[in-house]
Amino acid sequence: MDYDVVIVGSGFGGICSAIKLREAGIDNFVMLEKDEVFGGTWRVNTYPGAACDIPSHLYSFSFAQNAHWSRLFPRQDELLEYTQRVVRDFDLERHLRLGTALRSAQFDEATGRWHLATSKGEMTARAVIFAIGLLGRPSIPQFPGAQRFRGQSFHSAQWDHSIDLGGKRVAVIGSGASAVQFVPEIQPLVQQLDHYQRTAHWVLPRPDRTVTRVEQWLLDRARPLQLLYRAKHYMQFESRVVLFIFLPVLAKLMQWQAMRHLKRQVADPQLRARLVPDYTLGCKRVLLTNDYYPALSQSNVAVLKDGIHEVREHSIVTGSGEERPVDVIIYATGFDVEHAYGPIELRGRDGCSFAQALEDGAGAYKGATVAGFPNFFMITGPNTLLGHNSMIYMIESSVRYAVDGVRRVLRGGLHSVEVQPAVQGAYNRKLQQKLKGTVWHTGCKSWYLDSRGRNLVIWPGFTFHFRHITRRFDIDSYIVRRSA
């Protein structure tokens, strides 16, 4: 099968790409999804308490607003329902290819087409939009003896709902964004919960509440009010970039608020001391929750900071030598961002490896294109993720840039467009220089940094600046080859 465009991924990035391709008059495309159900992050992450830490009316497409969110901060089931409704409303189901995993893709210089091998056969495309994101490959530490464990274990992003945690001794390894959501949910069920915390996180109150029927009625009938509501949330969250990027010293103000939140919710001074981070707020992801600290204060919970020495058949031995019995291990250990694309083999012009290009630290141009990979566009690629605002805003910006690039190729009868290496290099040198003065480079170890200490994840600026630089496809920055 030959297509104009193949989209890889069916989450927000893939769905947005499909909608905007159709708006541009491009209909000969498919959207590949490796699983049998589409939906991206909010289909995969079904752990108890899963929710977004960005307000509902902001964590949704600007062109597909929903006036009937039930809560200020959306939960997993409602977000999945929203994505499913968008797919139906925009008639995208006919473009979906479910259960179709991309195994490899190779650019053919002679034809100017990508040759893709999938789990259901081969296909070709003039352009590829890679929308699988950076947070799709769970990371599980290789603790000594873990393979001998005779209990049950799973990663929080692969929650095993068949396991009954009632009355079990459960070890939760990790204390990041997913753990703070599911720990309060499982704590009342388990006999004992051992919470292994390598590093404490800064936690702020979560201003969540139900959205009243009156609010929903008004938002449904007054489009300007809906836009104002979204703008209010956008400005509220965008203002945090000043603390993270331009004046990290002001993060002390938020730290004071976080410390007050901790003191109000944790009475035990010893436990409180274990929960105070040793780095500047913002260096790691700031967490929003109201029930995490109260859960840790319960008698059946132990917060352990001395690490894991080894895993045995029915226990975990801590770094201090204490052996603690355990029935179930839950890994809340995040994702392997550095190797996010896993086993997919991508090869560009002259057979160059995509994995090697990223490993070499070249990054990407505007998070979207990589030298050596013609007609290849990424959504939420390197240095496009945020620590302060809605990724949907960034996705829409990236998609506009990518679709404009695809349109230029198809409508202009071009063989290919490929970012100039010098342009990509200059862009990334400037970006990395800007990152050096931000809160993300104040000394902590986080998933924002790779094994070499490089930040190839975060966008170091205002989101509206990213939208400005991606407002159109700047073809002058590209090597343009015309069809023979």
Q: What is the pLDDT of residue 283?
A: 86
Q: Which residues, including other chains, have CB under 8 Å from residue 101's CB and lie 6 or more apart?
A: 32, 34, 118, 119
Query: Are 362 and 466 contained in the same domain?
Result: yes
Query: Are 322 and 395 contained in the same domain?
Result: no
Query: Are 290 and 376 contained in the same domain?
Result: no
Query: Are 297 and 160 contained in the same domain?
Result: yes
Rg (CA), the chain: 23
Q: What is the pLDDT of residue 471?
A: 97
What percentage of the chain's residues is helix, strand, coil (to nearest 5)?
Answer: 35, 20, 45
Give 130-160 pLDDT, tens digit per residue. Answer: 998 777 778 889 999 999 999 999 999 999 9
Determine, yes or no, domain membership for 471: yes
pTM above 0.85, yes or no: yes
DSSP letter for each residue of 387-407? SSS-HHHHHHHHHHHHHHHHH
Query: Are 403 and 291 contained in the same domain?
Result: no
Query: Are 347 and 367 contained in the same domain?
Result: yes
Query: Are 157 and 123 contained in the same domain?
Result: no
Q: Which residues, including other chains, have CB under 8 Å from residue 476's CB and lie 6 or more apart?
A: none
Query: Are 274 and 182 contained in the same domain?
Result: yes
Query: Are 35 and 179 contained in the same domain?
Result: no
How many domains would you assign to the chain?
2
Query: Are 174 and 314 contained in the same domain?
Result: yes
Determine, yes or no, domain membership for 239: no
Q: Which two tokens stand for residue 288?
A: 């929003």
Query: Are 80 and 48 contained in the same domain?
Result: yes
Determine, yes or no, domain membership for 90: yes
Could you list the residue range(s) of the whole structural domain that residue 476 is in?
2-137+336-482
Q: What is the pLDDT of residue 361?
A: 62
Q: Are 61 and 83 in contact (CB under 8 A)?
A: no
Q: Which of 296, 331, 366 is the last residue of a domain?
A: 331
Q: Which of 314, 331, 348 is the last residue of a domain?
A: 331
Determine, yes or no, domain membership for 242: no
Would you write out the chain's pLDDT as a tens digit for each of its 484 residues? 899 999 999 999 999 999 999 999 999 999 999 999 898 889 889 999 999 999 999 999 999 999 999 999 999 999 999 999 999 999 999 999 999 999 999 999 999 999 999 999 999 999 999 998 777 778 889 999 999 999 999 999 999 999 999 999 999 999 989 999 999 999 999 999 999 998 899 999 999 999 999 999 999 988 888 889 899 999 999 988 887 777 767 777 889 999 999 999 999 999 999 999 998 888 888 999 999 999 999 999 999 999 999 999 999 999 999 999 999 999 999 887 777 776 789 999 988 888 888 777 668 999 999 999 999 999 999 999 998 899 999 999 999 999 999 999 999 999 999 999 999 999 999 999 998 878 888 778 887 887 777 888 899 999 999 999 999 999 999 999 998 6
Burial track 110-120 (b if 16+ CB lie within 10 A, e otherwise): eebbbebbbee
Determine, yes or no, domain membership for 188: yes
Q: Which of 273, 300, 331 is the last residue of a domain?
A: 331
- State the Cα torsion 474-422-394-100 to the nearest 10°: 100
Domain holding 117: CATH number?
Answer: 3.50.50.60
Query: Are 171 and 312 contained in the same domain?
Result: yes
Determine, yes or no, domain membership for 220: no
CA gap 20, 26 in Å, rounded: 9
